[in-house]
């Protein structure tokens, strides 16, 4: 369920910023705020945080008629990450352990998350991840399982970050990787449009989860994803939202890769905020 009262205040801050960008009246903003609070009161014991985020965005669209308020931001960070590709690829190729370097970069890309914070320093995060110890480090087990897996399901998270995922997928050179994007725009999460923009189909088969929550809610996703999830030998899950949607499954095939961006998640994982994590519930 909505795991912590602090999650609600995080939503409030995020939507306050969105409302200021939209050309709607103060009366409409006030009405939306009232409706948002009512939605929370009715659903705090029924929905997870990502499911609640989806419902608020649906509510907001009714006021703004803007189906993709983060469209420009997504393009900006896709373009920025693509410009960084040559240098990042050289960093991987010249490193003593390309797998470890590419994995760290994939996790660093998770900082591009407008649900958590719209102000962040991508280069600083990259620099820090290269010299940091993982707060939870199941990376050796991930590598071992990747070498044995016949099929890999890779659950993407955000635009921009998707380029870092592509670098990692290119580095591991696994022949059967399926990359999953959201079914429709939600926050700055990656969709088919983003996958096409960064050429992800050159690294993996790309499918949609056919749902628009900022997470992987398996029972609400399309049959294609459900079948791929069931059949995959290994599942890589990017970001906090996907963790919130899947961790309760306690599935030993799932490895969660993320940067911990809030106190609630830090307490749940028993790590420090802003730490980097490679986590498997059975490792």
- Regarding whether 269 and 161 lie in a shared domain, the answer is yes
- Regarding whether 204 and 110 lie in a shared domain, the answer is yes
> What is the tens place of the pLDDT at every residue in 21-54?
888 999 999 999 999 999 999 988 888 899 999 9
- Regarding whether 132 and 21 lie in a shared domain, the answer is no
Select the more confidently predicted residue: 200 or 20: 200
* pLDDT exceeds 90 at position 176: yes
- C-alpha 165/C-alpha 199 separation (Å) is 11
Which pLDDT band, with edges at 50, 70 and 90, does 117 fall under? confident
- Regarding whether 143 and 186 lie in a shared domain, the answer is yes
- Regarding whether 97 and 39 lie in a shared domain, the answer is no
* Farthest CA pair distance, the chain: 59
Select the more confidently predicted residue: 5 or 260: 260
- Regarding whether 29 and 128 lie in a shared domain, the answer is no
- Residue for token pair 């870092």: 164
- C-alpha 266/C-alpha 274 separation (Å) is 8
| Number of helices followed by number of strands (H, E) in the chain | 12, 7
The mean pLDDT value for 122-131 works out to 97
The overall pTM is greater than 0.85: yes
Domain count, the chain: 2
pLDDT given at position 3: 62
pLDDT given at position 254: 98
Which pLDDT band, with edges at 50, 70 and 90, does 5 fall under? confident
* pLDDT exceeds 80 at position 96: yes
- Regarding whether 272 and 238 lie in a shared domain, the answer is yes
Query: Distances in Å between the alpha carbon of 46 and those of 41, 52, 56, 239?
Result: 10, 9, 14, 22
Kind and range of the H or E run holding 62? helix 49-64
Select the more confidently predicted residue: 235 or 21: 235
Average pLDDT of every residue of the chain: 95
Backbone angles phi, psi at 117, to 5 degrees: -170, 130
Q: How many CB atoms lie within 10 A of CB 76?
A: 15
- C-alpha 233/C-alpha 242 separation (Å) is 18
- Regarding whether 269 and 210 lie in a shared domain, the answer is yes
- Regarding whether 105 and 54 lie in a shared domain, the answer is no
- Regarding whether 81 and 32 lie in a shared domain, the answer is no
- Residue for token pair 């929905």: 47
* Residue where one domain finishes, among candidates 64, 85, 113: 64
Q: The domain containing residue 167 runs over which residues?
A: 71-279
Which pLDDT band, with edges at 50, 70 and 90, does 210 fall under? very high
Which tokens sit at 283?
A: 């490792």
pLDDT given at position 2: 58
- Regarding whether 90 and 22 lie in a shared domain, the answer is no
- Regarding whether 149 and 12 lie in a shared domain, the answer is no
């Amino acid at each position: 369920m909505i795991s912590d009262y602090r999650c609600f205040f995080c939503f409030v801050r995020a939507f306050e910023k969105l409302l200021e960008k939209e050309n709607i009246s103060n009366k409409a903003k006030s009405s939306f705020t009232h409706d948002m609070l009512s939605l929370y009161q009715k659903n705090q014991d029924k929905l997870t945080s990502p499911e609640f985020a989806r419902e608020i965005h649906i509510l907001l669209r009714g006021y703004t008629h803007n189906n993709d308020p983060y469209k420009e931001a997504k393009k900006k960070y896709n373009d920025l990450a693509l410009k960084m590709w040559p240098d990042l690829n050289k960093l991987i190729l010249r490193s003593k352990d390309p797998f470890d370097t590419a994995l760290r970069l994939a996790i660093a890309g998770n900082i591009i998350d407008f649900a958590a914070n719209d102000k962040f320093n991508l280069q600083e995060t990259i620099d820090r991840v290269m010299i940091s110890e993982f707060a939870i480090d199941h990376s050796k087990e991930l590598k071992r399982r990747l070498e044995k897996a016949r099929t890999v399901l890779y659950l993407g998270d955000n635009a921009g970050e998707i380029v870092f995922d592509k670098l990692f997928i290119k580095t591991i050179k696994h022949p059967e990787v399926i990359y999953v994007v959201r079914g429709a725009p939600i926050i700055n999460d990656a969709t088919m449009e983003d996958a096409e923009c960064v050429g992800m189909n050159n690294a993996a088969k790309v499918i949609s989860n056919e749902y628009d929550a900022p997470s992987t809610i398996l029972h609400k996703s399309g049959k294609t994803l459900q079948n791929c999830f069931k059949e995959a030998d290994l599942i890589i899950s990017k970001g906090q939202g996907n963790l919130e949607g899947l961790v309760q499954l306690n599935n030993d095939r799932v490895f969660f890769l993320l940067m911990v961006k809030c106190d609630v998640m830090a307490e749940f994982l028993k790590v420090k905020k802003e730490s980097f994590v490679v986590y498997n519930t059975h490792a």
